[in-house]
Amino acid sequence: MSEEKVYVGDVRHFFPRIGVAIVDLIGELKTGDEIMILGKTTNLRQRVESMEIEHKRVETAPPGSSIGLKTVDRVREGDRVYVVKPQPQAP
Map out the domains of the chain with their CATH numbers: 2-87 (2.40.30.10)
Rounded to two decimals, the pTM is 0.92
Report d(CA 34, CA 4) in Å as an integer: 11
Residue 2 pLDDT: 84
pLDDT tens digit sequence for 12-52: 999 999 999 999 999 999 999 999 999 999 999 999 999 99
* Whether the predicted pLDDT of 88 surpasses 90: no
Task: Measure the CA dihedral 9/31/62/20, to 10°.
Answer: -50
DSSP letters of 42-82?
-EEEEE---EEETTEE-SEE-TT-EEEEE-SS---TT-EEE
Asked if residue 75 lies in contact with residue 11, where contact means CB atoms within 8 angstroms, the answer is yes
